[in-house]
């Protein structure tokens, strides 16, 4: 039951073995009224973030994670989430 889940960011590669699962969970969260962001990165495999030293897309994805966390950890954002 996704109704109590916090805002969630899914980053999944287009070649990811768990892509379908990520898409289904994101859809369930949307249907439950949760804040969810699904990013599908072209040609990225499972756990591509681990290749940040050599893969520009991995570094970009990690920066996007930081942006997401900053957006949802402001006082205003936390109050909004608590009200849901």
Q: How confident is the model at residue 81 (pLDDT cuts 50, 70, 90)?
A: low
The H or E element containing residue 12 is strand 8-13
**18-58 pLDDT, tens digit each:** 999 999 999 999 999 999 999 999 999 999 999 999 999 99
Q: How confident is the model at residue 10 (pLDDT cuts 50, 70, 90)?
A: very high
Q: How confident is the model at residue 74 (pLDDT cuts 50, 70, 90)?
A: confident
Closest CA to 35 of 10, 75, 7: 7
Q: What percent of the chain shows pLDDT beyond 90? A: 82
3-state helix, strand, coil in the chain (%, to 5): 55, 15, 30
Tokens of 31: 């249907």
């Amino acid at each position: 039951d996704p109704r109590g889940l916090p805002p969630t960011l899914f980053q999944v590669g287009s070649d990811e073995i768990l892509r379908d699962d990520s898409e289904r969970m994101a859809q369930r969260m949307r249907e439950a009224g949760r804040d969810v962001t699904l990013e599908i990165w072209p040609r990225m495999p499972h756990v591509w973030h681990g290749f940040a030293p050599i893969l520009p897309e991995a570094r970009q994805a990690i920066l996007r994670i930081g942006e997401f966390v900053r957006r949802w950890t402001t006082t205003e954002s936390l109050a909004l989430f608590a009200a849901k």
